[in-house]
Amino acid sequence: SRSEYLDGAPPDDAKAICQHDSWVILLDFSMLLSGDQDLLEALSRRFDVVITAMSQGTAGFASFEAYRCGSLVRRLTHTDGKTIQEGSPLDAESEIDLSDFYFDEADHLWKSHGLPSFLGVPPGPVIGLHLGDRAFTQLSVTSSPQPRPWWKFW
């Protein structure tokens, strides 16, 4: 699994969908969509502006990407203590120190588009959920499992 939130257990792809004002926010816990530039460009062709931000404290990683009309216009990636810049600077970048780009700076750029902070509690309410399990497509079943109820008490 690519998602620490799922602790290595199926499903290995989880997304929650929220809305904030005119934005649809896709929380990509498995970080599969966030790393797929072709898919993000396709979303941008359809919906015009697509913004992504990711952070992973243990790995010392933070990124911010902006797409418009199907093209990447800005990417900032911080890893291994270095920040890599691609594309043209955004107006909101004049308010931050890119030599120290990390969580707060990525969040500042995210919020400059009218989005709520991605560093705190996820926006809500959740209006949709996608769970995909790619692991089962690679397994061969040798015996018929017992049927399970669709519900579970916690």
pLDDT 10s digits, 32-60: 777 889 989 999 999 999 998 888 887 88
Question: How far is it, in rounded angstroms, from Cα 109 to Cα 37?
Answer: 19
User: Which pLDDT band, with edges at 50, 70 and 90, does 8 fall under?
Assistant: low
Place of tokens 């931000």: 53
Question: How far is it, in rounded angstroms, from Cα 42 to Cα 23?
Answer: 17
Residues 6+ apart with CB under 8 A from 53: 62, 63, 64, 65, 106, 107, 109, 110, 118
User: Which pLDDT band, with edges at 50, 70 and 90, does 31 fall under?
Assistant: confident
What is the pLDDT averaged over residues 23-28? Answer: 82
Amino acid 48: pLDDT: 93
Higher per-residue confidence, 12 vs 76: 76
Amino acid 129: pLDDT: 73
70-85 pLDDT per residue, tens? 999 999 999 988 999 9
**Mean pLDDT computed over every residue of the chain:** 78
110-151 pLDDT per residue, tens? 999 988 888 877 777 777 776 665 443 333 333 344 454 455
